[in-house]
Amino acid sequence: MIRATWIVVTVAALAALTRIPPAISAEEPSLEVIPAQVAARTLLKGAPIEVEVRLKGGDAQLAAISLSAFSNDGIIAEFASETPQELKNLSPKAEYSWRLKLTRPAGSILTDSILHARAGFDIVPAAGSTPAGSGTAVHRFLYTTATIKPPAAIGEIELSIAEIKGAPEILAHERPGHLFVFITNEYSKPLTVTNVKTLGPTFIEVVNPSATITADKQKPHPKLPMKIDPGRVGYLDYDIEATSEVVPGKQTVVIAADITTEDGTSATIRTAPLDVNVAVLGESDILKFLGIPSLLFLPGLLMLATWRFLWSLRKSSDEIAKYPLQWNTADFWIISIALSLATAWLYPFLRQLSS
């Protein structure tokens, strides 16, 4: 009988325990920045970036609330007038948001930066949670951060496009050409072209049009700086020349333009590579006539041709026909190339002696 009673009591106790609701954990206060990551190229005074710092009170009664924001990367956080820096009270389950305007001194380069936000407040004990007279407010802090960074890359296509048009296919020292550099503004604000430079062989020069002396050729284009409104196209005209000492053949030229926008963004845009065939005037005709692959072999060829002419004087036709170094044979070209290389090696010394 006693054992049966004990079993009944045990089962009843277990049933009562299963009906006890689980303990509900208290919700702690929290702080967050919205958005947590901001993509911006500039943080100008006249066009600040705005973020929101949100404080959630949780289950506690908060008092003497204040927010401070700082950055080690030069970012200045200014509180909006409708969201003052300090707040007296915040009821349980309530939220409060500060609106911050982020700026940075003009002229500085925006890199990955961090904004730190710190909220300080007192947690007021709920009525009846502590013995009378022993309840005191607990001062706490919450920290959070936000990242401000420029876009992954300021692509040239986002700002503008540069193109070369009208360039000559063949360029020689005696036959200069003309070209145009067209720049299309694809940005939402006006941009200014501040400088244009040529990237390529030193014997190819892109110079100011109608320049009469060397000093004028080195000066910036008279239209620079050139302002281009959004969606508009600006152009610069240039003369393209080859110096007196060139390397014949196909050469590649790229023109780069430095641009800035009204919001402080700077970039360098480049045209697509331009292939220019640099030639020595009359070279192809001479090579075709002489039947030699390059003018580099001309010294040796002239020496052998002159020697054959002198040797053939007062010789009969049969003797001339038996001349050992016949034109355009392997032996002929071996000796011709060797003499050309020897001439190239001796030429600097002979030039020094003559001077």
CATH of the domain at 120: 2.60.40.10
Phi-psi region of 58 (alpha: psi -120 to 50; beta: other; left: phi over 0): left
DSSP 289-315: HHT-S-GGGHHHHHHHHHHHHHHHTT-
Instruction: Name the residue with tokens 């610069």.
Output: 236
Average pLDDT, the chain: 79
C-beta separation of 80 from 48 below 8 A: no
Select, from the ranges 11-15, 282-286, 339-343, the one with the highest average predicted confidence (pLDDT): 339-343
Q: Which residue has the higher pLDDT, 348 or 218?
A: 348
pLDDT in tens, 252-273: 999 999 999 887 778 889 999 9
C-beta separation of 221 from 236 below 8 A: yes
Residues 218 and 251 in one domain: yes
Per-residue pLDDT band for 129 (boundaries 50, 70, 90) equals low
Report if residue 12 sits inside a domain: no
Report if residue 4 sits inside a domain: no
In angstroms, the first-to-last Cα distance of the chain is 136
Domain count, the chain: 3
Per-residue pLDDT band for 156 (boundaries 50, 70, 90) equals very low
Q: Which of 128, 149, 170 delimits the end of a domain? A: 149
Residues 145 and 162 in one domain: no
pLDDT value, residue 148:
84
pLDDT value, residue 23:
47
pLDDT value, residue 196:
93
Give percent of the chain above pLDDT 90.
25
Residues 60 and 99 in one domain: yes
Q: Is the dihedral of CA 221, 223, 226, 230 positive or negative?
A: negative
Residues 125 and 160 in one domain: no
Report if residue 7 sits inside a domain: no
Report if residue 10 sits inside a domain: no
Q: Which residue has the higher pLDDT, 292 or 351?
A: 351
Q: Which of 278, 308, 334 delimits the end of a domain? A: 278
Report if residue 14 sits inside a domain: no
Residues 65 and 82 in one domain: yes
Range 201-211 average pLDDT: 84
3-class secondary-structure state, position 248 = coil
Question: What DSSP element (H or E) covers 339?
Answer: helix 330-354
In which domain, by residue range, is 291 found?
283-354
pLDDT of 350 over the 60 cut: yes
Residues 36 and 105 in one domain: yes
Residues 38 and 133 in one domain: yes
pLDDT in tens, 38-81: 877 667 777 788 889 999 988 888 999 999 998 888 888 999 88
Burial grade of 176 (CB within 10 A; 0-12, 13-18, 19 or more): middle
Query: At 126, which amino acid appears?
Result: A
Give percent of the chain above pLDDT 70.
78
For the chain, what percentages of helix, strand and coil (3-state, to nearest 5) are there? 25, 40, 40
Residues 42 and 138 in one domain: yes
Report if residue 13 sits inside a domain: no
pLDDT of 117 over the 60 cut: yes
User: Angle at which helices 298-312 and 330-354 pack, to 10 degrees?
Assistant: 110
Range 331-355 average pLDDT: 79
Q: Report the C-alpha dihedral over residues 21, 22, 26, 31, rounded to 10 degrees.
A: -120
pLDDT value, residue 86:
92
Per-residue pLDDT band for 20 (boundaries 50, 70, 90) equals very low
Residues 37 and 134 in one domain: yes
C-beta separation of 242 from 170 below 8 A: no
Residues 138 and 224 in one domain: no
Report if residue 16 sits inside a domain: no
Residues 47 and 123 in one domain: yes
pLDDT value, residue 296:
66
> How far apart, in whole angstroms, are the C-alpha atoms of residue 63 and residue 120?
9
Residues 268 and 341 in one domain: no
Range 277-286 average pLDDT: 65
pLDDT value, residue 97:
92
DSSP 170-237: EEBTTB-EEEEEEEEE-SSS-EEEEEEEEES-TTEEEE-TT--SHHHHHSPPTT-SEEE-TT-EEEEE
Q: Which of 101, 126, 149 delimits the end of a domain? A: 149
Report if residue 66 sits inside a domain: yes
